[in-house]
Amino acid sequence: MFTKDDFLHYFNQLQSIEAQMHKTYQHLSNEIEHPEYKKLFNQLAKEEADHMALVKKLKELFAG
C-alpha cells in the first residue's frame, strides 16, 4: 500500500518531468524558424504547462 509520502514523492517526480519538458519545448520553439514547427512546439509547451498545473492541484488535494 502506498503512503501519503509515497504519493507526494510521485507527484514531485511528475512535476519535475513536466517542468523539464516545458522548458525543452519552449527552448525548441524559441530556436526553430519553421512556422509550423514553431507552432507545434508552442502547443506542446502549453500542454506541459497545463500538466504542471494539474499536478500541482493533485498535490494540493492529496496533501490537504
Contact by Cβ (8 Å): 18, 48: yes
pTM of the model: 0.87
Average pLDDT of the segment spanning 36-58: 96
Q: Which amino acid would we find at residue 48?
A: E
Q: Largest Cα–Cα distance of the chain, in whole Å?
A: 49
- Domain of residue 63, residue span: 33-64
Contact by Cβ (8 Å): 7, 14: no
Average pLDDT of the segment spanning 9-19: 95
Residue 2 confidence (pLDDT) = 85
pLDDT of 51 higher than 80 = yes
- Residue 18 in domain: no
DSSP single-letter state for residue 2:
-
- Residue 50 in domain: yes
Phi, psi of 3 (to 5 degrees): -90, 170
Count of domains forming the chain: 1
- Residue 57 in domain: yes
Average pLDDT of the segment spanning 28-56: 97
Other residues' Cβ atoms within 10 Å of the Cβ of residue 34? 9
